[in-house]
Amino acid sequence: MTTRSTFEPNAPTPGAAASWRERLWPRGGSGSGENLRLLALIILAYIVIVTFQSPDFLSLASLFDLIRTGSALTIVALGVLVVMVTGGIDVSFLANAILSAWIATALSNALGIDSLAFALTVAIGIGTFVGLVNGLIIYLFSLPTLITTLAMQGVLQGVLMVFLGARPITAGFMPSSLRDFGTSVLFEIPAGPGFTGLSVFAIPLVIVIALTWYLLNRTPIGRASYALGSNPLGAVRSGVEVLKINLVVYGYAGALAGLTGLMMVSEIRLVNPVSLVGNELIVLAAVVIGGAKLTGGTGSVGGVVLGMALITLLSNTLVTLGLSASWNRFFIGAAMVAIAAISHYRAKQRNLKLLNFQDV
């Protein structure tokens, strides 16, 4: 006898009657929305401080620059969010990103194909394959997700450096379509003596934000992912197919890693095998600051966007405040601790109120 899943395609979506604001912001607890509102206020306060120090900062040129520099990491952070919602964690995403980008670039050169569509297809395809392998290994061997993806990170670096003999691919040897992808703009506006434009990176960013929101909030996979992260045993007893969830979420995260890799190398015009690995903390910090928990069951697209916005602001404006860029990770770590402490305190206060109410 087969067990029927409670997460059917026709089942009503939790919070279906909620406004679009409530659906964009978090699920998994009323305190999460409060944390995100606090995060938004912190960002606004920081912008005010930077603007007082440098009045030119409050401009469309600054906004366009933040979108260009933050788009790629925001995209991969959304993939990490989908994994963390299930209670897992993936730290192989940047190794996956650079491997996918390097193979896509090298294959384009080898075949003489100067096409952005071809490079994107190869990079996303390789990233998806690596993600599927991650999800399958975790399911078959019941291994901790951190250990599995950390091992995968080492494997991918080994494949790139040893088996493929990867050397940096400089701008002169990159397909022109990739170089153009990193510098193209949708439109330009006057800015001082010159012009500034909105990067084409805004297109994949908006598409991925919408797709991730839809996946988590409007599909049975998304509802089952939140259930699996909140109560794994209860979700399995309800008929959630863990293998299916793993393949979808890790495959999706891998696809976004491949896209991110190609965006980043096209922006800096250099495919360096060691250029991305080591920045995992920045991405994980954005997801955690945005309200996701390592234990799973919570997290939102809006939270990730705000978390990465804060980190991108810090990265781009510390020099404006007279601080060295070396302070960047200090403030990121401090923000993680502060948000986690506030979240824990508010959750504790809600629990105490609930217990007092029950006692009454």
Q: What is the rounded CA–CA span in Å between residue 296 and residue 84?
A: 5
State the pLDDT at residue 319: 81
79 within 8 A of 257, measured Cβ to Cβ: yes
**Exposed, middle or buried by CB within 10 Å (0-12, 13-18, 19+), for 179?**
middle
Run of H or E including 170: strand 169-170
> Do residues 281 and 101 lie in contact, with contact meaning Cβ atoms separated by under 8 Å?
no
Taking CA 315 as the corner, what is the angle to CA 310 and CA 316, rounded to the nearest 5 degrees? 100
Rounded to 5 degrees, φ, ψ at 169 are -105, 110
Q: Whole-model pTM above 0.75?
A: yes
Q: What is the pLDDT along the chain (360 residues), one digit of tens a residue?
A: 344 344 444 343 444 334 444 444 444 444 467 778 888 998 999 999 999 988 888 889 899 999 999 999 999 999 999 999 999 999 999 999 999 999 999 999 999 999 999 999 999 999 999 999 999 999 999 999 999 999 999 999 999 888 777 788 899 999 999 999 999 999 998 877 778 899 999 999 999 999 999 999 999 999 999 999 999 999 999 999 999 999 999 999 999 999 999 999 999 999 988 777 778 989 999 999 998 988 899 999 999 999 999 999 988 888 888 887 778 888 888 887 887 787 778 777 877 877 654 444
Q: Which residue shows structure tokens 């991730």?
A: 212
Q: How far apart are CA 299 and CA 307, in angstroms?
A: 11
> Can you give the pLDDT at residue 329?
81
Tokens of 12: 């009503």
Backbone φ and ψ for 13, nearest 5 degrees, come out as -75, 135
